[in-house]
Amino acid sequence: MMDFEKLVAELADNAAPVKAAPHPYLLSLKWMGAAAVYLVVSLAVSGLRPDLAHALAQPLFIAEIVGLLLIFAATSLSAALLAFPDLHQKHRLAFAPAWMFALFVLVMLFAWRADSPPAPLPVHSFECTLSIILFSLLPAAWTFYTMRRYASTNYYWAGSIALLSAFSIGALWIRLHEVNDSILHVVEWHYLPMIAAGALGVWLGKVLLKW
């Protein structure tokens, strides 16, 4: 290592004016706006589920969609905060996804109980998980690309939350696209893989967000 004063002089010499990073609220709004456009365009291309009007008449379906929207909003905000070394000094907000996930689990428990007699299982299974993953690739890539410009000191969490955010928008898309009332299928192939996505995000965070 070099002499302390020499290092200070060198760093000061390189101190060109710097444009401050956008506020994390603005950053997360950007992500949410882009994801909303992506979702609308994708649904316009792939088509809405034909029974959407009927599905929207069911309170638990609405609760599930709202739950997914809240998870997406909370994870976007949390990922934006986690991209900053000090979480922009809003530590409590960074934990908001935990509450949203808890709320969502509760909604799914109610939906599970209400699914009696159980709706018939669709003929497909893992195809849903695969579709969600493919749909999530673009938002995930963009989120990680943006986060790399900042300086996360919690890169494991940041990676996990970023991937959960992308996965939640994928899960939202498939619920609005696919005709399916089986809670068992939805839990097994739409939402449980989210746990794996979160774990994969931990690894991706370490690889992509370390600085």
Q: Are the CB atoms for 119 and 182 separated by under 8 Å?
A: yes
User: x/- site string to another protein, residues 175 to 204, per CB under 8 A?
Assistant: ------------------------------
Does residue 92 bind another protein (CB under 8 A)?
no
Q: How far apart are CA 171 and CA 139, in angstroms?
A: 13
Q: How far apart are CA 97 and CA 201, in angstroms?
A: 15
Does residue 145 bind another protein (CB under 8 A)?
no
DSSP state of 9: H
Q: Which is nearer to another protein, 14 or 116 (by Cβ)?
A: 14
Q: How far apart are CA 177 and CA 65, in angstroms?
A: 12
Does residue 150 bind another protein (CB under 8 A)?
yes
Q: Which is nearer to another protein, 38 or 156 (by Cβ)?
A: 156
User: x/- site string to another protein, residues 70 to 89, per CB under 8 A?
Assistant: -------------xxxxxxx
- Locus of tokens 């949410």: 32
Q: Which is nearer to another protein, 84 or 135 (by Cβ)?
A: 84
Q: How far is CA 90 from the centre of its chain?
A: 19
Q: Quote the least distance from Cβ 82 to another protein, whole Å.
A: 11
Does residue 206 bind another protein (CB under 8 A)?
no
User: Which residue in the set 29, 34, 69, 153 belongs to the binding site for another protein (CB under 8 A)?
Assistant: 153
Residue of 104, 164, 157, 176 whose CA lies nearest to 136: 164
CA dihedral (127, 60, 73, 41) in degrees, to 10, reads 50
Does residue 19 bind another protein (CB under 8 A)?
yes
Q: Which is nearer to another protein, 1 or 102 (by Cβ)?
A: 1
User: Which residue in the set 99, 145, 203, 211 belongs to the binding site for another protein (CB under 8 A)?
Assistant: 211
- Locus of tokens 């969609």: 65
**For residue 34, what are the contacts with CB-CB under 8 A and spacing of at least 6?**
139, 142
Does residue 116 bind another protein (CB under 8 A)?
no
Instruction: Tell me which residues touch another protein (CB under 8 A).
Output: 1-2, 4, 7-9, 11-21, 23, 83-89, 150-151, 153, 211
